[in-house]
Chain A
Amino acid sequence: MSVPLLKLNHVSKSFAGVDALSDVSLEVSPGEVLCLLGDNGAGKSTLIKVLSGVHKPTRGSVEVEGRPVVFDSPKDAGDLGIATVHQYGGTFPLMSVARCFFVGKEPTRGVWPFQYFDKKTAAEITVREMQKLGITRVTDGDRLVGSLSGGERQSLAIARAVYFGAKVLILDEPTSALGVKQATHVLRLIMQARAHGLAVVFVTHNVTHAMAVGDQFAVLIHGRMADDFRKGERTREQITDLMAGGEAMADLEAELAGLTGSGNS
């Protein structure tokens, strides 16, 4: 196998003594989708924040293309081609789509002190890149991000990552707030990114979404890696059981049946 783009070696992260992650190791390879599964509070977002330079691991190390790295800020991760769309935010509702697309990477013209943000070019590129991802409704770069639908916002963030040459695209629950159609659209974008050779880390609660696009799967329970497998190695039932915290779904169903049964009698 080739050198993984991104690798975590025995990473732990604790907040004020509480372990959000313990001893997690994983690898992400180009042209592959890694699905990160787990219940609420399992540590998925924390893991992603370690990968994207928001948090420094308490123990363990991060490697990019075989070289150990320490991210002092999200910018360091971004400079190495790691683009992240965080669970909450990542877009600015009161900014125009063009301003938002180019945040931190504004195209400029002229020389200082007359150097200015080239908003016209920014708007053209934003609209063009959104259209490439099938968002044809956004025709005006001045439109506010807050007026976009959830799916369009995710598309904007993904378009941005792809445009700025990300090698690793990290998406924290991009489909969780979306309807069926928009979620399908985002899944299609993930497959497109994969086809372009990007490594994708996709966090979700939805087993159907995960199975549709995943090559590789990692399940977190209470901050530990509970299982780690490739496409086709587990059935849907097994994955669902794992995500329910290892408790067999059948048991849960029986329990629920018992509850409703007793409620009826």
Chain B
Amino acid sequence: MTAHAPHSARRTPSRSAAQPAAAPAPEGPAPQASRRSASSFLRRPETGALMGTVTVFIFFAIFGGAQFLTTGGVASWLNIAAELAIIALPVALLMVAGAFDLSVGSVVAGSSVTLAVVSGTYGMPIIVGILAALAVGAITGFVNGFIVVRTSVHSFIVTLATQFALAGLTLGLARVLTGSTSVSLSPDPFWKSAFGTLINGQFEVAIFWAIGIALVVAWVLQMTKFGNWIFATGGDNLSARAAGIPVAKVKISLFVASGLGAALVGIIQTMLYNGAQTGTGQSFVFNSIVAVVVGGVLLTGGYGSVIGVMLGCLTFAIVNQGIYYTGWNSDWAALILGILLLAAVLMNNTFRKLALSSGAPKTTTRKGH
């Protein structure tokens, strides 16, 4: 079947050699290998994110004083980063697949209140409350995904709608069922230690949940067939469909994953604070997007990495908490985050352009003209 191919393979080098104008850079194995190892770092999606994390860490290590680096200081930003990562990791997968999820805030509140109502107000076993809370996340995710793939309405609008609807539903039901906007729950020690304990009095168990989820998500995105489908779906939805990828199933399952991540944070917060508030969790909507985008995920899909997202969460948390250690007014944190977001996106764009030109001596020389 391939009998003819080697001939054409031989023909190409001689053709380009006969064309002095092309004059490609020498392509010996040694120079190319060294060039590749040097540029392979720069063209990874998380390079910009790593620079961002290192920068803010050094910044607050200097201006935050010794407090910032004590175990208490480290715990304060690791806790923030961990809860954020549990939501941001599946949100990142969804963004790589080309969709947004703005409903995570209400899912945190809805699942949190569900757990407290089911196991607190109605006194059912904690496990029932946990399953009910996860169901709130999964169902919201499924509804989001189903509407997005069935209609041509953008996920931004669909999830914005569910974000509002679920917030209203949570508030309304909480008042009807408990007559209050805050519901208390006293979990037994087993469940408390699984979700809401402070290790050493400082570190949330959420840190381990975040690490575990990061490993699973990294495996899925980088190492599995499904991960390749995620990249393809976000890279070009039509081409992915043409290549036989079940894009609707990919998207729906990622919306469900995103709902489950937010529900887990809802459960963690309920266990941690021994109760739920109807207004909790709303800050995760934009914070997760900031972390994901600072982490090098392309807002329009098709590009990103788990290491980048973890770094994005760390960067966010360091700025968010580091400001308290500087002794400056904490109002400045949002300003720093805003500037950081813009700088990170510009830097990520630069690195992505680099990735799109590296390894192609011909294209590079052409662009140089």
Contacts and interface: CB of A to CB of B under 8 A. Distances in A.
Interface of A: 52, 54, 73-75, 78-79, 84, 86, 89-95, 99-100, 102-106, 108, 115-117, 131-137, 139-140, 142-144, 146-149, 181, 185, 188, 192, 195-196
> Most chain-B Cβ atoms within 10 A of its Cβ — which of A74, A94, A100, A106?
A94
A74 to B, nearest CB: 4
Contact of B239 (A91, A147, A185, A192): A91
Contacts of B36: 140
A149 B298 CA distance: 22
B238 interface: yes
Contacts, number: 130
B176 interface: no
Contact of A117 (B2, B43, B224, B355): B224
B34 to A, nearest CB: 13
Given A92-B302, A133-B8, A147-B363, A196 B1 contact: yes
B9 A134 contact: yes
A41 B75 CA distance: 62
Given A133-B5, A136-B9, A136-B12, A147 B228 contact: no
Contacts of B229: 103-104
A192 B4 contact: yes
Contact of B362 (A89, A115, A137, A143): A137
Contact of B223 (A92, A117, A134): A117
For the residues of A in contact with B, the DSSP-based class is: loop
B235 A104 contact: no
Contacts of A144: 43, 355-356, 359
B48 to A, nearest CB: 15
A42 to B, nearest CB: 21
B225 A149 contact: no
Given A78-B244, A104-B232, A144-B355, A90 B225 contact: no
Interface string B1-45: 110111011011101000000001000000010001000100100
Nearest to B216: A113
17 contacts: A74-B243, A91-B239, A92-B232, A92-B239, A94-B231, A94-B302, A95-B232, A103-B229, A103-B239, A104-B243, A105-B243, A143-B359, A144-B356, A147-B357, A147-B358, A147-B360, A149-B360
Interface residues of B, number: 48
B16 to A, nearest CB: 9
Interface of B: 1-2, 4-6, 8-9, 11-13, 15, 24, 32, 36, 40, 43, 219, 223-225, 227-229, 231-232, 235-236, 238-245, 298, 302-303, 352, 355-363
Contacts of A185: 12
Contacts of A79: 244
Contact of A143 (B24, B240, B360): B360
A20 to B, nearest CB: 17
A89 B15 CA distance: 28
A145 to B, nearest CB: 9
